Each structure stands twice: as C-alpha cells, then as structure tokens.
Structure 1
C-alpha cells in the first residue's frame, strides 16, 4: 500500500507540479539560446529524488537586477509566489505573470520572432520589478525594465529595431489595459506555470512553464463587510466570486459566516466565534447581521467559502479584515425646547405691536 501511495504522489507531482508543496528543487539547467534569458531543464527533482515534471521545464528570468543561471547545476524553491517578485505588486504580480504566459507564450515565445521573444522578456521584467498593481506603474521608459532606452547589446534584437519597438509597445499597452482589473486569483489554464526563487540570491528568480494544462482549480472569493460596528446596527456582507476555469458558482453551495473575535486579525473562522452562518445565495446577493450586546468590544469578520457547480470545489475560506471593535451607539442628541409665550403674554405683545404701529402712522402724518 505504501508503494502505491508513493507512486501516486510521484505521478501527481509529474502531472501537476504546481499542486505540490513548496520545496527545494535541484537539477541542471541549459541556456536555450534564444533572445529571452531562459533555460531549460529536464531533470529537476525534489529532495527525495522524485521528478518535478516528466516534461521539459522552461524557465524564464523575471528579475532585471540579478544574473541568469546559465548552464549550471542549480537549486530553486518552487511555489515561491510573491517572494519571486522584486516589485510591490504582490498577488497581482503573480496573476499578471500567469496572464502574460497564458496570452503570449505561444505567439511571442514559441512561434515568435526574436524581436517578439525579447519584448516578452522585457514584459516579464516589468512585472517582476516595476509593476505595483496600477496602470501607471507600467512604463517603457523608466524603472528597472525600460525597453525604450535600455542599451540592449544582444546580437539579434536592438532597441532601435522597428519590429522590436512594435512588439514591446503592443505588450505594454495590453498590460496597461488588462492588468489593473485582472483578478488576483487568475491562473493559466493552458500551461502549468510556477514561480521559482533561486537558492543563490545572486541568481535570477524564474517563471517555470510546462506545456501542459494544470488541473482544474477551485474558485476564490473576495469578501467585504460594510456598516457601522455599533450594537444594534446591521452590517452587510458581500463578496466577488472568481473561478479561473470559468466554472459557474453554486449559489446554494457557497457559504458564509459572521465571526467575532477579541483579536484584530484572524486567518480563518475557526479562530473566532461564529455568530451567524448560512448559504449566501450567490455573489449577486448580500447577507446581513444585527450586532448584539454580546458582540460589544469584539471585532467582526465576514468569511466566505466559495463553491462551483462544476469542476474543483469548494474553494478555501476567505475572511475580511477586522471591522470594529463593536461599540455602543452614541446617545441621541438632546433636543432643546423652544420657549413659548402664554396667552396673556401673546395678548400683551399684540397690543404693544398695535400701539407701535399707530405711533408710526401718526409720525408719518405729522
């Protein structure tokens, strides 16, 4: 039985390395010889000797500030995620690299001209070094990656080459348009894409590409909570739903929890007290919760576990940042009564006004 389990584990790692836990990889990498700073390896393996992939792995540099690992025995950390990105884009950068490979690997790298391949390299450097999640940070003439001004001494592609200029302008404009609204959970469905950090910090982090589609991925959710954290007030929980494989949400399967905790941060609902739970009814709906006296001085969270009708499901539970702490509502403002005149006072005032009016008339006649 242990042999069968071990064999299944190896098969899973070979078929879908991006599902494996982050681990050390070793192997030989050979320069592929094209205008992209890339290497190819067919013998990357885990510490136990199991292969990372049964297909060749293409690794392309995503950092403009360190040296590429050419034709060496090297070691990486797989599943590096945001730690492989030098810029400040975080999860948005991981999604952007997946999008770039998904959209342009075939046309710009595998079947592209030297100018297109080199433009793809600059686009990866832009995401890896300068992108911060905004369109304004994608800039061809500033930052670490600047294809419009870089003195590219490569013997195939030069900055003044019109074909190169057209290629990088096309990529940069596409990034400006697509990346700021790209869901952070976006992942390639055409290729298996992984981010590596080099165990030698002087050498490049890489994006690893295997020409095989990864397994179906679970859906993701981004929850939000709105409302005033006052005892007696009603707060509203909403969320966005995303599935990288375009699997439609299961409205009755997606669940929510309102959770309270004395801690101002929380990783999942098990770390707090669940005060309300149920089915969301889908991302187009919203759910509410009325804050109770027992919630006083506690932080409130809204947690969602998304579910899809087809494909891999459910996704992982995701919780909002803390709302609160919950406090008692402020007392209503004090209403000051406007002084009023009694019946005799009103009569006296009317008489005085009448006399004043008569005096004014006489004054004018005289």
Structure 2
C-alpha cells in the first residue's frame, strides 16, 4: 500500500465510531427498538459533541446488561465510548470475544435468523459482557447474570441455537486473543450514562478498505515517521 493510500485509509477509519479525535469520547442521540425477540435498537442520529456523526453507515445496537432496564424509544441519551472494555466483566477479553461472536453469529442468527436464534444471539452478548471474565470456565448457562439455561425460553429454535453457541464458547474462548477484531463489522462498546439503563454494543458494516484494528496513538506516530522519512529521502 502506498503512503498516500495508507493515510487515506487511516483518515477514513477515524470517521468510524470509536475513533473520533480521541480514543474515547461522548456521543449522544436516541435509539429505537426494532426487534421483538432481542433487545436490539437502531439509531440514525448518534453524534459527537462537535456535531460529527458517530457512524456513516447503518447502525444496530444491542443491550449488554441483563439486570438493567432497556433504553426508551425516542429518548436522548449520552454514551461514553469504551474502547478498552472497562465496563465489561472480562475487560479486553470481552471486547475481543464480542467481536468474534458478532463475526460468527450476527448475520446467521440475528439478521437472517428466526425469533429463537435472535433471542439466543442476545443471550450470547449478555454472557460475554456480564459473566465472561476472560476464562472460558466463567461461561455458565445456569449461573451469573445471564442464565439462558434457567429462563425456560420456549421460542422455537432457541435451545438448539443456544447449545450451538455454548459449545462454540467452550472451544473458542480459551484460545481467542485479546487483540481479535472483526474484519467485517465496526464494533463499539457504549457506556450509557443514564442510571439503571443497559450499556450497548454498536455494530455497523465496515467499509471494505478500512483497517479492522483501530490505530492507537503510536500508530499515528508511525505515520508521522513515514512522512518524515519520505521527506528526508527527498532532501537527499
């Protein structure tokens, strides 16, 4: 990739949510419930304090705290971005696990799934955000805040879908690196400032030419270094 292409790609990345101006920022806007079988919402007006859009693509949001209330439709909320996973039980491990889980199940279980698989997808997010500590043994369908094994859910397909997810957790999470990030979706954790309301995970399609891993501050120093080296080469 040429230096010009690299800089262009990185500039595009900063327009995706989670990367506006700083590693963490506050965004505000309203959400609207869009699913009867998962705590799923859409939003088209989330924006940073300077008015810039939180996302330039369609945005889907899911709840992450099963013991708290869901957001209310058409109510303006303020959210703090949480790129490091400080609000999740497993921290960085939970961020990586949620990225992997969305990659693996979002399209098949939620977008193109049935009522039962959508509800199983929601439970998977709850399990990874509220109960997963970074150790695969912390996943338990009958313990913790998320208990799909005790909720007696009778939606057709739920139990089979959840068992598939549960088995996949057992074989994948023990070897999943904390640096895992989706190549397909841009995913951000949002800490809801309203008391008693669930935190959210925001998911949108990632443009094909945008890097999958957010560039840290050191990365921008590297880009600056590339420019300096290029300038030095020209002077020589």
TM-score, structure 2 length as denominator? Answer: 0.80
How far apart are the structure 2 equivalents of 1:187 and 1:219?
Answer: 9
Structure 1, gaps ≥5 residues long: 1-7, 152-158, 221-304, 316-366
Could you say if the C-alpha distance between residues 313 and 35 of structure 1 is closer, same or farther in structure 2, counting changes exceeding 3 Å? Answer: farther
Residues 189 and 213 in structure 1, CA contact (< 8 A), matched pair in contact too: no
The answer on 1:52 being equivalent to 2:54 is yes
Aligned pairs (5 A) from 1:192-271: 192-213=186-207, 215-217=210-212
Structure 2, gaps ≥5 residues long: 1-7, 224-236
How far apart are the structure 1 equivalents of 2:100 and 2:106?
Answer: 10
1:252 is matched with none
How far apart are the structure 2 equivalents of 1:80 and 1:70?
Answer: 24
Could you say if the C-alpha distance between residues 313 and 109 of structure 1 is closer, same or farther in structure 2, counting changes exceeding 3 Å? Answer: farther
Task: Give the C-alpha shift of residue 53 in structure 1.
Answer: 1.5
Task: Give the C-alpha shift of residue 73 in structure 1.
Answer: 1.5
2:165 is matched with 171
Task: Give the C-alpha shift of residue 141 in structure 1.
Answer: 1.3
How far apart are the structure 2 equivalents of 1:219 and 1:160?
Answer: 40
* Secondary structure at 1:81 match in 2: coil
Residues 13 and 53 in structure 1, CA contact (< 8 A), matched pair in contact too: no
1:83 is matched with 86
Residues 84 and 206 in structure 1, CA contact (< 8 A), matched pair in contact too: no
Residues 13 and 19 in structure 1, CA contact (< 8 A), matched pair in contact too: yes
TM-score, structure 1 length as denominator? Answer: 0.52
* Secondary structure at 2:46 match in 1: coil
* Secondary structure at 1:26 match in 2: strand
* Secondary structure at 2:65 match in 1: coil
How far apart are the structure 2 equivalents of 1:211 and 1:34?
Answer: 22
Residues 181 and 213 in structure 2, CA contact (< 8 A), matched pair in contact too: no
* Secondary structure at 2:194 match in 1: coil
Residues 36 and 121 in structure 1, CA contact (< 8 A), matched pair in contact too: yes
Q: Deviations over 1:10-40 (max 9, x none)?
A: x847842232221111111111133110111
Task: Give the C-alpha shift of residue 145 in structure 1.
Answer: 0.7
* Greater percentage in strand: 1
Could you say if the C-alpha distance between residues 218 and 212 of structure 1 is closer, same or farther in structure 2, counting changes exceeding 3 Å? Answer: closer
Task: Give the C-alpha shift of residue 108 in structure 1.
Answer: 0.7
Task: Give the C-alpha shift of residue 160 in structure 1.
Answer: 3.5
Could you say if the C-alpha distance between residues 101 and 84 of structure 1 is closer, same or farther in structure 2, counting changes exceeding 3 Å? Answer: same
* Greater percentage in helix: 2
How far apart are the structure 2 equivalents of 1:42 and 1:207?
Answer: 15
1:135 is matched with 136
Q: Deviations over 1:140-167 (max 9, x none)?
A: 111111111125xxxxxxx244511000
Task: Give the C-alpha shift of residue 213 in structure 1.
Answer: 4.1
Aligned pairs (5 A) from 1:277-288: none
How far apart are the structure 1 equivalents of 2:83 and 2:212?
Answer: 18
Task: Give the C-alpha shift of residue 54 in structure 1.
Answer: 2.3
* Secondary structure at 1:19 match in 2: coil
